Amino acid sequence: MTTLLDSAKSMLTDAVMDKASSLLGLESSGMGSAISKFLPGIIGGLISKGNTEAGASSILDMIKNKGLTDLGVDDLMGVLGDPNKGKSMLDQGGDLLGMIFGNNQGGILDKLIGMTGLKKAGGSMLLKFLAPIVLRKLAGMVTKNGWGAKKLSSYLGEQKSSISGMLPGMSGLMGFAESAGSKATAAAAAVTSGDDDNGGGGWWKWLLPLLLLGAILFGLFKSGILGGDKTMDTTTEDTTITNGDATTGDATTGDVTTGTAGELSTGESTTTTTDMKGGSTDGMTIDFSNSMMNDNGDIVDAEGKVLVSSADYSFDANGNLVDMNGRILVEAASIPGTLLSRLKSFLGKYSGIRLSENETGDLVDADGNVIYKAGEFEKKGGFYYDKDGNKLGRIWAKIVEAVKDAAATTKEAMTSFFDAMIKKTEGAKTEYPLSNITFNEEGNRITNFSKNEIEGLAAALQANADGKIVVRGYTNDGASDKENTKLSKARANVVHDMLVTLGVKDSQISFKGMGSGDNRIEVTSND
């Protein structure tokens, strides 16, 4: 199968390069060498992001939410020939780079640009131009082959060989390790490309054999052929990780293998890692070793790669680290004390409580007990704060405890759930946020939804001909409160139309635009 690198390169014909140089304000003759670094850099970011099924799933969501489709040379020429379309492409490229590299974006892009002779502004523009090309070629492969997350993750893993050695010294920053062989190749390439004082290599001539010999010896020591047992006994309890450099290599509980993941400590005592094992979420088993928390609240590995995003975790009542659906990521007993205290500090005073607001605007716990009266707290940056600026806890979208993962629940289960809601059965929920429904940014075109939820709701309404519901929309995607109200109503109307199309009577459904709020669609039983 064609590599992603070759597929992206095929788009950069001479005609495209000429058009692009005009759009970007760069000399086409100077773009080639930069592209030889930038394309592998972008692909490396995708490899890193997609190395798990969960990561690959986020790439699929990126493709879907951005409406990315395959791109031909003629299509690209059309975009480059229209200044407005060209600007939109660059804007989209900036968004995509942020999604691919996340919190590491600035450092990675600066490093990539530093490998070229381009100024930062020009290099940034070229990267924004290339990112949509790479993603749209990948989108074409996904559509053509019908890949899910597992297949996409496998394909991206296979792409490592196509960019091996093209980004010397950046593998750790990108989130995947270089082999000893590729490091030696990169070192040799750097040496042989050096300036020559005497036309014959000068002192570099004798340095190259030493570098190659060092690489060979490294491999022999690592394999255990030289140096005897390749493991070291460990004595102390806590893992020490500073500035992304781990004191250990490839770690196992109780001993440390002398691998290359981070820099080995040369201190007096060796260390042992804490093995953090948790449950499974979306098919991904979390097994943290050498983990820490970065300044953004993400849980990262020794090389700075995000294992769990700061937006995706909280604590349950038992102290387990859980995702938004309450599924265990890491069991309480497996979280090191030093990391635990930082996580709780990041989540706020009530880190183990799912805070929400009641009908009167008070801040309440899961049992409805009032923690702060309305007006005594404020919301910013996804968290609740008291009036003194102390963080209280995360703002979570309401989650129906009876259906923690609606997207994976059968239509029959959803029908039963909505039937009880519509009939107002004792103990049944009276409102429900559609768990997986999303729209294109600033629009009302649905980009994702749970088929089982919608069909289950339609079936319950058809079985209860006198039953009625209200569909309420909330959004912050508009430019103002007025625009948010208009857009949220339009999105609620789309859900209304979907249900009518499925055979529900129009008189059973009303819809309202509630205006500003976290993007969501709620369904409530009519009073």
165 neighbors 185 (Cβ within 8 angstroms): yes
461 neighbors 495 (Cβ within 8 angstroms): no
- Where residue 170 falls among pLDDT bands split at 50, 70, 90? low
CA dist., res. 318 & res. 304, Å (int) = 28
Q: Over pLDDT 90: what percentage of the chain? A: 21
The pLDDT of residue 395 is above 70: yes
Per the rule left: phi > 0, alpha: psi between -120 and 50, beta: everything else, 468 is beta
**What are the phi and psi torsion angles at 384 (to 5°)?**
-90, 140
Q: Among residues 46, 19, 269, which one has the least CA distance to residue 158?
A: 46
The pLDDT of residue 197 is above 50: no
- Where residue 398 falls among pLDDT bands split at 50, 70, 90? very low
Report for 55-64, 182-191, 295-304: range of highest mean pLDDT = 55-64
Q: Among residues 311, 290, 309, 284, which one has the least CA distance to residue 299?
A: 309
CA dist., res. 480 & res. 290, Å (int) = 45
This prediction has a pTM of 0.39
| Assigned architecture for domain 406-525 | 2-Layer Sandwich (3.30)
Q: Among residues 288, 344, 287, 295, which one has the least CA distance to residue 315?
A: 344
The pLDDT of residue 239 is above 50: no
* 83 vs 303, residue with greater confidence: 83
- Where residue 175 falls among pLDDT bands split at 50, 70, 90? low
The pLDDT of residue 196 is above 50: no
Question: What integer is the mean pLDDT of 122-151?
Answer: 92
Question: The tokens 């090191």 sit on which residue?
Answer: 336
* 94 vs 526, residue with greater confidence: 94
DSSP 8-state symbol, 328: E
Question: What integer is the mean pLDDT of 242-267?
Answer: 30
Which pLDDT value is given to residue 181?
A: 39
For the chain, how big is the Rg over CA atoms in Å? 27
Question: What integer is the mean pLDDT of 356-382?
Answer: 85
pLDDT digit string (tens) for 486-513?
A: 999 999 999 998 898 888 999 999 999 9
Q: Over pLDDT 70: what percentage of the chain? A: 71
DSSP assignment of 488-510: HHHHHHHHHHHHHHTT--GGGEE
Domain locations in the chain as residue ranges:
4-177, 190-223, 232-345, 348-396, 406-525
CA dist., res. 81 & res. 78, Å (int) = 5
Kindly report which listed range (45-59, 90-104, 399-413) carries the lowest average pLDDT score. 399-413
* 258 vs 448, residue with greater confidence: 448
* 41 vs 258, residue with greater confidence: 41
Q: Among residues 460, 365, 450, which one has the least CA distance to residue 405?
A: 450
The pLDDT of residue 110 is above 90: no
- Where residue 287 falls among pLDDT bands split at 50, 70, 90? low
The pLDDT of residue 396 is above 70: no
The pLDDT of residue 209 is above 60: no
Kindly report which listed range (7-16, 161-170, 256-265, 354-363) carries the lowest average pLDDT score. 256-265
Which pLDDT value is given to residue 46?
A: 93
The pLDDT of residue 480 is above 70: yes
Question: 406 CB contacts (<8 Å, ≥6 apart)?
Answer: 400, 414, 434, 435, 436, 450, 452, 453
Sign for the CA dihedral angle at 477, 483, 489, 490 comes to negative
The pLDDT of residue 298 is above 90: no
Question: 44 CB contacts (<8 Å, ≥6 apart)?
Answer: 163, 167, 170, 171, 174, 176
Largest CA distance in the chain: 93
